[in-house]
Structure 1
């Protein structure tokens, strides 16, 4: 098995260090996945640009976490599922809705179901949504701008999901209570 280093701010390549500082400020720590990702300054800096936009866009943080948790499950990224489960619960999302997503189902909350369903469909269809997929999302009260914004969230999570699946960093202690297997 190929192993990847889990960098700290001090051990990371110089080009990754500013991104690590930004993400440490956002999370209060440098999660192991981010430490592994920082092996590539190009990758970590790409994530930071998207991260700021996704978490500062039109969706609430709870809605963002619904999309990111759905993406992690759909992409089979165990590290990201545990991480986003922790963050979703911290945002006050009903534990039953979080568990539904972890099991590959839609949450009961209608708004969350529309977001989760769109994110999963977008990944599974590789962005080739049909008119019905789009109408279903818009009928839930979202705008076309929201639909396109989900693309940014899916893109950001794809970066972390694929990185986690390739680098397989150890699951950080704060997320171990929500460990997940595909």
Structure 2
């Protein structure tokens, strides 16, 4: 298995440093996954820029984390599942919703269930949603244009989840309570 270095702001390639500084300022740390992504300035810079834009969507913080957690589970990325489980709970997502998603199920809350189902359908169907998928999303109170914001979340997740699956960075102590293994 190939190993990837985990960079700090000081050790990262020049083109990755600003992105790591932004993450550190926003999160109070450079997560191990981002430290690994920093080996590619284009990857980390694109990821941080997209993540920053995703924060400006109409989704609440909890909804954003539910979406990202749903993607992490669908992509079977253990590091991202632990990270987004921790953040989802910190941002007020119901524990029952987080646990359901981690088991590969839909949350009981209809709005969160629609968001989770839609993001999973986009992954499973490679973006080819049918009318029923869109109706599930809009019936939960989301504007159809928010599907474009879901795509932003999917792009972010693809970069992070695939990096996590490829590089398998160690899980930080603050996320270990939410450690996850494929198959839960």
1:176 matched to 2:176: yes
Match of 2:122 in 1: 122
**How many residues were matched structurally?**
182
Find the aligned partners of 1:111 and 1:132 in 2 and give their Cα distance.
15
5+ long unaligned stretches in structure 1: none
Match of 1:163 in 2: 163
Q: TM-score, normalised by structure 2?
A: 0.97
Deviation at 1:66, TM superposition (A): 0.5
Match of 1:62 in 2: 62
Deviation at 1:145, TM superposition (A): 1.5
Match of 1:21 in 2: 21
Find the aligned partners of 1:135 and 1:111 in 2 and give their Cα distance.
12
The structure 1 segments of at least 4 consecutive aligned residues displaced by more than 6 Å after TM superposition are none
1:139 matched to 2:100: no
Match of 1:4 in 2: 4
Comparing both chains, which one has the higher relative contact order based on Cα–Cα distances under 8 Å and sequence gaps of 6 or more?
Answer: 1
CA-atom RMSD, angstroms? Answer: 0.7
Find the aligned partners of 1:131 and 1:115 in 2 and give their Cα distance.
15
Q: Which digits, 9 at most, give the CA deviation of each residue in 1:2-40, with x for residues without a partner?
A: 100010001100000000000111111001000000000
Q: TM-score, normalised by structure 1?
A: 0.98
Query: 2:62 touches 2:93 (CA, 8 Å); kept in 1?
Result: yes
Query: 2:137 touches 2:144 (CA, 8 Å); kept in 1?
Result: no
Find the aligned partners of 1:124 and 1:113 in 2 and give their Cα distance.
16
1:104 matched to 2:104: yes
Q: Which digits, 9 at most, give the CA deviation of each residue in 1:120-163, with x for residues without a partner?
A: 11111111111111111111111122111101111111110001
